[in-house]
Amino acid sequence: MKEEVFNKWFNVFILAGMSVAIILAAVFNRSSDEAAWFLLIVSAFGSLMGVASTVASANGKIITFLFGFLDVSIYGVICFLNWRNTGTGLGNCVLHLAYFVPMQFVGYRQWKARSLSDAGSGLKARRFNKRQALLCTAGFLLLTIVCYIVINAFDHSAAEGFIKVAVLLDVIPLACNIIGQLLMSVAFMEQWIFWIGVNVFSILMWAFSLKAGGEDYALIYIIKYVFYLINSFNGLRIWIGLSKPGGVCK
* CA contacts within 13 A on the Cβ side of 242: 24
pLDDT of the residue at 216: 62
pLDDT of the residue at 213: 67
- Over the stretch 129-138, which tens digit does the pLDDT of each residue have? 999 999 999 9
Long-range CB pairs of 167-170 (<8 Å, 24+ gap) are 169/88, 169/201, 169/204, 169/205, 169/208, 170/88, 170/89, 170/90, 170/91, 170/92, 170/205
| Helices assigned H by DSSP within the chain | 2-28, 34-58, 64-86, 90-94, 101-114, 130-154, 165-185, 191-211, 217-242
pLDDT of the residue at 236: 92
> Do β-strands 248-249 and 123-124 pair in parallel, antiparallel, or remain unpaired?
antiparallel
pLDDT of the residue at 119: 45
Regions of the chain with pLDDT less than 70? 1, 26, 28-35, 87-89, 91, 116-122, 155-163, 213-217, 245-250
pLDDT of the residue at 160: 57
pLDDT of the residue at 134: 96
- Over the stretch 149-185, which tens digit does the pLDDT of each residue have? 887 777 655 455 556 777 777 788 889 989 999 999 8
Which neighbouring-strand residues pair with 123?
249
Question: How far apart (Å, rounded) are the C-alpha atoms in residues 85 and 74?
Answer: 17
142, 151, 171, 207 from 87: Cα distances, Å = 24, 11, 13, 14
User: Are 189 and 242 spatial neighbours (Cβ–Cβ below 8 Å)?
Assistant: yes
pLDDT of the residue at 67: 94
Question: How far apart (Å, rounded) are the C-alpha atoms in residues 160 and 108?
Answer: 42
Question: How far apart (Å, rounded) are the C-alpha atoms in residues 128 and 136?
Answer: 9
pLDDT of the residue at 83: 78
User: First and final CA of the chain: distance in angstroms?
Assistant: 13
